[in-house]
């Protein structure tokens, strides 16, 4: 699979990385029950497809996603880039809270190293901003972990330009992990241009808008998801009307565009995120081997400018009015 350099001085990563949120299994923000064997096979299939990096987080399944990634990759550690995160902790009652205190970040890093069965993390990212600690203190700790070699590259997720600037003034932000898809485009105005100008790599999360841009969703399909799948909670605008129904119709209009390249809508959606010059790679989530195999074809080809314009017009007509 084609690779691109992460920012000005980061590693070469494949255009698609495997997202390991869903393989964390059941927890408050989980995707319902998940068999570990299926998760193991999904990780192995991603490597088979040439993908060279995996994005996980301690909070995905409250340690379970990292543990699975560690077990699966321990014999091939050198050949895979592991990205994980810090800043979301949980207690004995499985309640999740934000914590960006420097001592907490260090403790989380040690815990992640243990679960991942490794002595270094390739990319360590602050998962979400939080006002409980000045970001300079948190980023200072990230910088120290990098200097100590416990982590090779450091990044942030869900940050705005103001926070990015404050981190960058201390040490280089290797990457930003923002949400970005054909129907979630808020970062285009300020954040992506800033990253491009400052040599910050961008790894876009939820390029399939949590499965919505695969073409499999309908109101009936939503009802078939597990009771504890976060997409059924009813409080997410993307899985509620009017946006949900508008997206289903939007996806129907994408089918002929994808077909023109003999691709699926999911592959078109991934290729679309990769078409932005500021985006380094897309993190495609998968919980079954066949999903990551089907999505790998999102890399290595270009959508024509005519089709990009057509997609932009469809977005303006069908999605923008519902936002």
Alpha carbons 203 and 211: distance in angstroms, whole number: 18
Q: Which of 46, 104, 146, 177 binds ligand NAP (CB under 6 A)?
A: 177
Q: Does 289 bind ligand NAP (CB under 6 A)?
A: no
Alpha carbons 280 and 2: distance in angstroms, whole number: 11
Closest to ligand NAP by CB, 233 or 306: 233
Q: Which of 206, 247, 273, 299 binds ligand NAP (CB under 6 A)?
A: 206
Q: How far apart are the first and last CA of the chain?
A: 35
Site for ligand NAP in 151-170 (CB under 6 A): 157-158
Beta-carbon contacts of residue 214 (< 8 Å; ≥ 6 apart): 208, 264, 265, 266, 269
Please report how close the Cβ of residue 253 comes to ligand NAP at its closest, in angstroms.
Answer: 18
Q: Does 46 bind ligand NAP (CB under 6 A)?
A: no
Which tokens hold the place of 34? 């998940």
Closest to ligand NAP by CB, 68 or 266: 266
Q: Which of 16, 22, 69, 311 binds ligand NAP (CB under 6 A)?
A: 22
Alpha carbons 157 and 160: distance in angstroms, whole number: 9
Tokens 């543990």 correspond to: 67
Q: Which of 20, 116, 173, 311 binds ligand NAP (CB under 6 A)?
A: 20
Catalytic residues: 60
Closest to 139 in 3D by CA, of 107, 178, 169, 97: 169
* Positions in the binding site for ligand NAP (CB under 6 A): 19-22, 31, 55, 127, 157-158, 177, 205-211, 214, 216, 266, 283-287, 291, 294-295
């Amino acid at each position: 699979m084609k690779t691109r350099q992460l920012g000005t001085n980061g590693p070469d990563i494949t255009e698609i990385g495997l997202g390991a949120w869903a393989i964390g299994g059941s927890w408050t923000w989980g995707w319902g029950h998940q068999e570990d064997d299926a998760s193991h096979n999904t990780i192995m299939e991603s490597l088979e497809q040439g993908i060279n990096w995996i994005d996980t987080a301690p909070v995905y399944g409250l340690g379970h996603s990292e543990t699975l990634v560690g077990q699966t990759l321990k014999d091939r550690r050198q050949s895979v880039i592991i990205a994980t995160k810090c800043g979301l902790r949980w207690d004995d009652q499985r309640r999740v809270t934000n914590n960006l205190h420097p001592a907490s970040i260090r403790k989380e890093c040690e815990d992640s190293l243990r679960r991942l069965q490794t002595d270094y993390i390739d990319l360590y990212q602050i998962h979400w901003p939080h006002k409980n600690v000045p970001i300079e203190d948190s980023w200072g700790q990230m910088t120290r972990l990098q200097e100590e070699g416990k982590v090779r590259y450091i990044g942030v997720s869900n940050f705005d330009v103001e926070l990015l600037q404050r981190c960058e003034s201390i040490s280089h932000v290797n990457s930003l992990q923002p949400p970005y898809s054909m129907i979630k485009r808020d970062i285009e105005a300020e954040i992506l241009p800033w990253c491009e100008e400052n040599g910050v790599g961008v790894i876009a999360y939820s390029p399939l808008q949590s499965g919505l841009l695969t073409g499999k969703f309908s109101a009936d399909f939503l009802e078939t998801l597990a009771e504890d799948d976060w997409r059924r909670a009813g409080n997410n605008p993307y899985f509620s009307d009017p946006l949900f129904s508008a997206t289903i119709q939007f996806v129907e209009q994408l089918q002929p565009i994808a077909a023109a390249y003999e691709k699926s809508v999911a592959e078109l959606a991934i290729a679309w995120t990769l078409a932005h010059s500021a985006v380094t790679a897309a993190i495609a989530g998968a919980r079954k081997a066949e999903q990551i195999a089907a999505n790998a074809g999102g890399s290595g080809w270009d959508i024509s400018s005519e089709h990009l314009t057509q997609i932009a017009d469809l977005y303006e007509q069908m999605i923008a009015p519902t936002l």
